[in-house]
Structure 1
């Protein structure tokens, strides 16, 4: 139950100030029809609500700039549309800052509320972070959601669509159920996953995602761990500054993926941060020392000289260049990986870094077929380990075709 507080500071947070307009307009509309101005002396402005007397207290919009909000002491914070609060716009940092500020004064009655549509589980948004939090599952935070029960298979059935919309919209009697039903049934320009998320409140992947979380989770195999001495193939994708550099292995006998190493730019690293090339070379040499490497594919940009050394040290019949910017060959490798994951011929050990990169990848159509790429050129959502995994599987396939798994072992026989 609401109660007066000595210094009321209300913040409305969003990824951009324009996104707070709808909530602030709603607040202004409700206050203008109440005794707020006359009885409480409020000045109801377009972008801020405050006391006419100058007494401390306000309702203000805030945008995602976590560091500038550190140390504020809001008594109430509304974080709006948190399914859009992702790492590329600073959303998770902003959320942590607001939540941390609120938690310092919860004894005095401070609270926060988030509003959201169903999140895309490939994006690691604040909505997903909250939904998967132990604070929700243990009942310490209140989570309230109405979801339509329709399945994707029934999304063209009028009765099912209508019934599911009624479920999802609950007592929102102003919703145009008939109009929404017609839109879903006859509009073919919008992906079904969008309807599931924004009309039925169901958690669904974006339509251009390369692989869904459920598909990737189906490849998880936590048994039979990778051991030193196992025969493996390796995929390598290198960078210097902008992207990550990764090294992924795959066991030859069962196509089980695992991360050998990865170098990612830290979140608050200086502008001149670079990958430690010597550490990368040491990791490659350690991989050859710890495992029996049958084949290695390495994307050459930035590391052509290093790849040449690896070829000399470990065999030019083992280390090969694989140019990922050559679409014909890369399309075939991506298709092999996708098919293997769908038919159960691919496994992984659950490494969260590899999973994050695989689920970050989206598809891009080229004349030769489908490639994988980041969701935007400047995106902070990296996919380099996914590229490494594709190269690793391709290396394994070529090693098998070359007979590398048919290793003849000598044995001593006594008579």
Structure 2
């Protein structure tokens, strides 16, 4: 008996796009690795288009749509249990979110006896629109609508499957009860519009007795932060999904598909049609390029970027261009025990994170980016020339020693484990020959005094513009010229990605996007200050001088 092919990877590097139609034979999905085959057949056999010139025609799923449904309903290998309990789908407008949501809602009604399926919206009007979409899909199908001899009864505010005791309803954030809900499947429409995380949390915590619970967030991008400075629930989930996809967080019960545009690529122009396809899987199919172009003349640039290209829009300036840090990765390189290093430390007590990084100094480089003969070179040419001139030299190497971050569901009294931090610094000093422990003297004075009294080489490094501006510039130039390597630690990549630059009278420094933002940059700070000191020759100890009494 021939073995069936393995299912597609959980997080493919290239997400599917385009007009190609789906057939089970055209994919690696089958009934052994997904429950999505039934859902796709249900949609194609019974759901009809509810809008446009093709209204009333049966849905023909594209390959990317069916692949998404099969991924959402992926099975744990060797079992009949579904893998995901939470799934995040971020895709711009006009890419059939409503159709997919209606199909997943109806599939949820048929999924198990006594199923409770809910679609959630930010307000009552949006909840009515969602319910209306599902109701229209049912009423247009003779096989589904009970009035035409089908399975499902349609009421003013509910759709029931009497044979199994299952029901579907739409809820809004402003009108729902926390009591009595036992959802089996939940679809959050436009998650970015949820005013708080209350309804999201209720729905994620209300399915403990269900064998196959599933909460699906379907949304475009939106605001990063709320008025109080906290991340929106949509951006929280986006950040978490990125950590799962990168492997920083191991969460086999969390799935995600994020269609977004790389707006930090060199030469990016949001009006360039070649970039529109990145975030729009239906582009060139039922998403007409000409109509999309017309939209650019009707809405503002930030709205177009957010809703049609899935770009998080902010007034702050992102520090490192997208991909620049990744190009410096050398995951095979390690910092051997016993070699000379500099440690960078940035500490907090409860709100921010506390980080300890290590930098092994490199050999003197042969490339001077400020030399007059390099003034006319672009970034790629400078990087190529730097690589040639520095070939064979050991570059400075950066890695993360340890990070202490406030857990998302931490107790209000959670604080950084100070004794554990101090022990981690001591352990690093035993492992390597530490030239300096570079740290900001603020807040952790007692720890610095204690470590210094033990003979450890603590060096105060106040994060003032006088110090941080040139250090930030040095780090930036090292990355852009590929004159530094790193281990590829996803935590450092995340903190660097959270860093924004603002202009000071002394020059540019990195900051959080907003003062109250929960997105951490502490590892980025430790890397900057440690690299700065690692690239600065250590000061020589003064040589004792002796004078004759006759010379005094």
Q: TM-score, normalised by structure 1?
A: 0.69
Distance in 2, matches of 1:133 and 1:305, equals 37
Q: Kindly tell me: are residues 114 and 214 of structure 1, through their superposed partners in 2, closer, same or farther at Cα, counting changes over 3 Å?
A: same
C-alpha deviation, 1:396, in angstroms: 0.9
Name the CA shift for 1:153/1:242 in 2 (closer, same or farther; >3 Å): closer
Deviations 1:136-162 (A, max 9, x none): xxxxx99697989xx874737777689
- Relative to structure 1, the CA distance from residue 162 to residue 240 in structure 2 (aligned partners, 3 Å threshold; closer, same or farther) is closer
Per the TM alignment, residue 118 of structure 1 is displaced from its structure 2 partner at its CA by 6.7
Say if 2:362 is the partner of 1:249.
no
CA offsets, 1:298-336, max 9 Å, x none? 111221132233334336xx4221111x22321222222
Q: Select the residue among 403, 421, 431 that pairs with 1:280.
A: 421
Alignment partners' CA distance in 1, 2:276 and 2:358:
49
In structure 2, C-alpha distance between the alignment counterparts of 1:238 and 1:210, rounded to whole Å: 22
Partner of 1:309, secondary structure, is helix
Confirm or deny that 1:155 pairs with 2:293. no
Q: Is the 8 A contact 1:79 1:113 kept in 2?
A: yes
My pick for the range that moved more, 1-10 or 248-257, is: 1-10
Structure 1: segments with no counterpart, 5+ residues? 135-140, 405-415
Moved more, 336-345 or 276-285: 276-285
Aligned mates of 1:244, 1:296 — CA distance in 2: 18
Is the Cα contact below 8 Å between 2:159 and 2:167 reproduced in 1? yes
Other-structure match for 2:409? 268
Q: Aligned pair count?
A: 369
CA contact (8 A) 1:72 1:101 kept: no
Q: Deviations over 1:377-407 (max 9, x none)?
A: 3333222111111111112122x26479xxx
Aligned to 2:528: 390
Task: Tell whether 2:156 aligns with 1:43.
Answer: yes
Offset of residue 215 of structure 1: 1.9
Is the aligned partner of 1:362 residue 2:471? no
* Residue of 182, 191, 199 corresponding to 2:308: 199
Alignment of 1:114-129 (within 5 A): 114-117=217-220, 125=238, 128=241
1:10 aligns with 2:117: yes
Q: Matched residues in 1 for 2:447 and 2:256: separation?
A: 54
Show the 5 A alignment for 1:6-405. 7=114, 9-13=116-120, 17-18=122-123, 21-22=125-126, 24-28=128-132, 31=135, 40=153, 42-44=155-157, 49=158, 57-61=167-171, 73-81=182-190, 104-105=211-212, 114-117=217-220, 125=238, 128=241, 132=245, 153=267, 155=269, 168=283, 170-172=285-287, 176-182=291-297, 190=302, 198-200=307-309, 208-212=317-321, 214-253=323-362, 254-314=395-455, 318-324=457-463, 326-398=464-536, 400=537, 402=539
Distance 2:352 2:136 in 1: 51
RMSD (CA atoms)? 5.0
CA 1:158/1:323 → structure 2, altered by over 3 Å: closer, same or farther? closer
Deviation of 1:248 after TM superposition, in Å, equals: 0.8
Q: Which structure has the highest helix share of the two?
A: 1
Partners of 2:260 and 2:311 within 8 A in 1: no
Q: What is the rounded CA distance, in whole Å, between the counterparts of 2:208 and 2:466 in structure 1?
A: 52
- Alignment partners' CA distance in 2, 1:91 and 1:255: 48
Aligned-pair distance for 1:104? 2.1
Q: What is the distance in 2 between the residues matched to 1:356 and 1:71?
A: 39
Structure 2 distance, partners of 1:336, 1:177, is 42
**Structure showing greater Rg:** 2
Q: Distance in 2 between matches of 1:27 and 1:247?
A: 51
Is the 2:344–2:527 contact (alpha carbons within 8 Å) kept by the matching residues of 1?
yes
Task: Tell me how far apart the structure 1 counterparts of residues 297 and 410 of structure 2 sit (CA, whole Å).
Answer: 50
The alpha-carbon deviation at position 337 of structure 1 amounts to: 1.2
**CA–CA separation in structure 1 for the residues paired with 2:491 and 2:292:** 42
Deviation, structure 1 residue 228: 1.0
Whether contact under 8 Å (1:265, 1:273) holds in the other structure is yes
Answer yes or no: is the 8 Å Cα contact 1:82–1:127 preserved in 2: no
CA distance in 2, matches of 1:130, 1:245: 18
